[in-house]
Protein backbone atom coordinates (compact mmCIF):
# COMPACT_ATOMS: atom_id res chain seq x y z
CA UNK A 1 0.00 0.00 0.00
CA UNK A 2 1.25 3.48 -0.86
CA UNK A 3 2.03 5.79 2.02
CA UNK A 4 0.74 9.35 2.37
CA UNK A 5 3.23 11.76 3.93
CA UNK A 6 2.79 15.40 4.90
CA UNK A 7 5.84 17.67 4.63
CA UNK A 8 5.30 21.17 5.96
CA UNK A 9 7.33 24.05 7.32
CA UNK A 10 6.02 25.44 10.60
CA UNK A 11 7.12 28.23 12.90
CA UNK A 12 8.20 27.72 16.50
CA UNK A 13 4.71 28.91 17.51
CA UNK A 14 3.09 26.28 15.28
CA UNK A 15 1.92 28.14 12.16
CA UNK A 16 2.46 27.00 8.59
CA UNK A 17 1.23 30.27 7.08
CA UNK A 18 0.95 33.79 8.42
CA UNK A 19 -2.45 35.46 8.85
CA UNK A 20 -2.49 36.48 5.16
CA UNK A 21 -1.52 32.98 3.96
CA UNK A 22 2.09 33.91 3.19
CA UNK A 23 4.74 31.21 3.62
CA UNK A 24 7.81 33.14 2.45
CA UNK A 25 9.21 33.16 5.99
CA UNK A 26 10.05 29.46 5.47
CA UNK A 27 12.56 30.32 2.74
CA UNK A 28 14.50 33.09 4.46
CA UNK A 29 16.83 31.05 6.65
CA UNK A 30 20.60 31.19 6.81
CA UNK A 31 22.28 29.23 4.04
CA UNK A 32 23.13 25.69 5.05
CA UNK A 33 24.65 23.32 2.47
CA UNK A 34 23.38 20.22 4.32
CA UNK A 35 19.83 21.60 4.46
CA UNK A 36 19.94 22.68 0.80
CA UNK A 37 21.05 19.18 -0.19
CA UNK A 38 18.29 17.63 1.93
CA UNK A 39 15.64 19.75 0.16
CA UNK A 40 17.08 19.04 -3.30
CA UNK A 41 17.24 15.29 -2.58
CA UNK A 42 13.61 15.31 -1.39
CA UNK A 43 12.46 17.10 -4.54
CA UNK A 44 14.21 14.63 -6.83
CA UNK A 45 13.55 11.53 -4.74
CA UNK A 46 10.38 10.44 -6.49
CA UNK A 47 6.83 10.22 -5.28
CA UNK A 48 3.62 11.94 -6.19
CA UNK A 49 2.68 15.39 -4.91
CA UNK A 50 -0.81 16.24 -3.66
CA UNK A 51 -2.06 19.81 -3.37
CA UNK A 52 -5.13 21.83 -2.53
CA UNK A 53 -5.97 24.68 -4.87
CA UNK A 54 -4.20 27.50 -3.00
CA UNK A 55 -0.89 25.67 -2.58
CA UNK A 56 -1.07 24.36 -6.15
CA UNK A 57 -1.53 27.86 -7.55
CA UNK A 58 1.31 29.22 -5.41
CA UNK A 59 3.70 26.41 -6.41
CA UNK A 60 2.68 26.44 -10.08
CA UNK A 61 3.33 30.18 -10.24
CA UNK A 62 6.98 29.70 -9.23
CA UNK A 63 8.51 26.28 -9.90
CA UNK A 64 8.06 26.12 -13.70
CA UNK A 65 9.55 29.62 -14.15
CA UNK A 66 13.03 30.49 -15.44
CA UNK A 67 13.72 32.15 -12.06
CA UNK A 68 13.14 28.88 -10.17
CA UNK A 69 15.25 26.95 -12.68
CA UNK A 70 18.05 29.48 -12.19
CA UNK A 71 17.81 29.83 -8.39
CA UNK A 72 17.19 26.18 -7.47
CA UNK A 73 17.71 24.03 -10.57
CA UNK A 74 17.70 20.62 -8.86
CA UNK A 75 14.59 21.35 -6.81
CA UNK A 76 12.77 22.92 -9.77
CA UNK A 77 13.61 20.01 -12.06
CA UNK A 78 12.46 17.48 -9.47
CA UNK A 79 9.19 19.19 -8.59
CA UNK A 80 8.33 19.97 -12.21
CA UNK A 81 8.85 16.36 -13.27
CA UNK A 82 7.03 14.66 -10.40
CA UNK A 83 3.44 13.56 -10.95
CA UNK A 84 1.04 15.91 -9.19
CA UNK A 85 -2.62 15.87 -8.18
CA UNK A 86 -4.56 19.01 -7.29
CA UNK A 87 -7.87 18.69 -5.46
CA UNK A 88 -10.20 21.57 -6.27
CA UNK A 89 -13.87 22.10 -6.92
CA UNK A 90 -13.22 25.56 -8.40
CA UNK A 91 -10.28 25.11 -10.79
CA UNK A 92 -11.25 24.37 -14.37
CA UNK A 93 -7.85 23.10 -15.46
CA UNK A 94 -4.41 22.26 -14.12
CA UNK A 95 -1.73 23.41 -16.54
CA UNK A 96 1.45 22.63 -14.58
CA UNK A 97 3.35 19.76 -16.16
CA UNK A 98 2.34 16.25 -14.97
CA UNK A 99 -0.69 17.50 -13.00
CA UNK A 100 -4.07 15.83 -12.78
CA UNK A 101 -7.08 17.79 -11.51
CA UNK A 102 -9.52 15.96 -9.23
CA UNK A 103 -12.85 17.68 -8.65
CA UNK A 104 -14.65 14.77 -7.00
CA UNK A 105 -14.57 13.44 -3.42
CA UNK A 106 -11.00 13.94 -2.18
CA UNK A 107 -11.22 11.35 0.61
CA UNK A 108 -12.53 8.62 -1.69
CA UNK A 109 -9.90 9.46 -4.32
CA UNK A 110 -7.02 9.32 -1.82
CA UNK A 111 -8.29 6.00 -0.41
CA UNK A 112 -8.32 4.63 -3.97
CA UNK A 113 -4.87 6.05 -4.75
CA UNK A 114 -3.36 4.49 -1.61
CA UNK A 115 -4.37 1.04 -2.89
CA UNK A 116 -3.03 1.58 -6.41
CA UNK A 117 0.53 0.67 -7.33
CA UNK A 118 2.94 3.57 -7.42
CA UNK A 119 5.25 5.74 -5.35
CA UNK A 120 4.44 7.25 -1.98
CA UNK A 121 2.40 10.45 -2.01
CA UNK A 122 3.42 13.72 -0.34
CA UNK A 123 1.25 16.68 0.64
CA UNK A 124 3.06 20.03 0.62
CA UNK A 125 1.29 22.93 2.33
CA UNK A 126 -2.42 22.40 1.72
CA UNK A 127 -3.71 22.71 5.27
CA UNK A 128 -7.26 21.85 4.27
CA UNK A 129 -6.05 18.51 2.86
CA UNK A 130 -3.94 17.82 5.95
CA UNK A 131 -6.84 18.42 8.35
CA UNK A 132 -9.39 16.48 6.28
CA UNK A 133 -7.18 13.50 5.43
CA UNK A 134 -5.74 13.45 8.97
CA UNK A 135 -9.26 13.31 10.39
CA UNK A 136 -9.97 10.34 8.10
CA UNK A 137 -6.82 8.49 9.24
CA UNK A 138 -5.28 8.50 5.77
CA UNK A 139 -1.95 10.16 6.61
CA UNK A 140 0.88 7.77 7.46
CA UNK A 141 3.56 10.29 8.45
CA UNK A 142 3.77 13.97 9.36
CA UNK A 143 7.15 15.55 8.58
CA UNK A 144 7.18 18.90 10.33
CA UNK A 145 10.13 21.19 9.61
CA UNK A 146 10.27 23.66 12.50
CA UNK A 147 11.79 26.98 11.40
CA UNK A 148 13.45 29.32 13.93
CA UNK A 149 10.88 32.09 13.54
CA UNK A 150 7.85 33.20 15.56
CA UNK A 151 4.90 34.83 13.76
CA UNK A 152 2.63 35.50 16.72
CA UNK A 153 -0.40 34.45 14.70
CA UNK A 154 -1.37 32.71 11.52
CA UNK A 155 -2.84 29.47 10.31
CA UNK A 156 -2.21 25.99 11.66
CA UNK A 157 -1.98 23.16 9.15
CA UNK A 158 -4.56 21.42 11.34
CA UNK A 159 -7.23 24.14 11.21
CA UNK A 160 -10.55 22.35 10.97
CA UNK A 161 -9.38 19.16 12.68
CA UNK A 162 -12.30 18.20 14.88
CA UNK A 163 -10.71 15.63 17.18
CA UNK A 164 -7.35 14.96 18.74
CA UNK A 165 -4.80 13.23 16.55
CA UNK A 166 -2.27 11.35 18.70
CA UNK A 167 1.19 10.97 17.19
CA UNK A 168 4.43 9.23 18.08
CA UNK A 169 7.88 10.57 17.26
CA UNK A 170 9.57 8.50 14.54
CA UNK A 171 12.71 10.55 13.77
CA UNK A 172 14.43 13.90 14.25
CA UNK A 173 17.11 15.79 12.37
CA UNK A 174 18.61 19.18 13.22
CA UNK A 175 20.24 21.46 10.66
CA UNK A 176 22.87 24.18 11.20
CA UNK A 177 20.47 26.87 9.95
CA UNK A 178 18.26 26.20 12.99
CA UNK A 179 15.61 24.14 11.24
CA UNK A 180 14.60 20.90 12.96
CA UNK A 181 12.79 18.08 11.15
CA UNK A 182 10.37 16.16 13.34
CA UNK A 183 8.77 13.06 11.82
CA UNK A 184 5.64 11.71 13.48
CA UNK A 185 3.41 8.73 12.81
CA UNK A 186 -0.19 8.39 13.97
CA UNK A 187 -0.72 6.25 17.06
CA UNK A 188 -2.90 3.32 16.06
Q: What is the pLDDT of residue 50?
A: 96
Q: What is the pLDDT of residue 83?
A: 95
| 6-18: burial string, b at 16+ Cβ within 10 Å, e else | bbbbbbeeebbbb
In a domain, 64, yes or no: yes
In a domain, 157, yes or no: yes
User: How many domains does the chain divide into?
Assistant: 1
Of the CA atoms within 13 Å of residue 17, those in its CB half-sphere come to 17
In a domain, 162, yes or no: yes
Task: Judge whether 103 and 89 are in contact, CB under 8 Å.
Answer: yes
Q: Which domain holds residue 90?
A: 21-121+138-175
In a domain, 186, yes or no: no
Q: How far apart, in whole angstroms, are the C-alpha atoms of residue 94 and residue 146?
A: 30
In a domain, 167, yes or no: yes
Phi, psi values for residue 33, rounded to 5°: -55, -40
The pTM of the whole model exceeds 0.85: yes
In a domain, 169, yes or no: yes
Q: What is the pLDDT of residue 62?
A: 94
Long-range interactions of 160-165: CB distance < 8 A, separation 24+: 160/127, 160/128, 160/131, 160/132, 161/131, 161/134, 161/135, 162/135, 163/135, 165/134, 165/135
> Mean pLDDT in each 10-residue stretch from start to end of the chain (188 residues)?
94 91 78 84 83 93 94 90 95 96 95 94 90 93 95 89 90 94 94
Q: What is the pLDDT of residue 26?
A: 83
In a domain, 89, yes or no: yes
Amino acid sequence: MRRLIVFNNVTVDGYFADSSGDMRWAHRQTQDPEFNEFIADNASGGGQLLFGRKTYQMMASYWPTPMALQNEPKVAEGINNLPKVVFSRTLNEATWKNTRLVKSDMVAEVRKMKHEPGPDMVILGSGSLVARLGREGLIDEFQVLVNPVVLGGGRSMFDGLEKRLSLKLAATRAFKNGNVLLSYEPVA
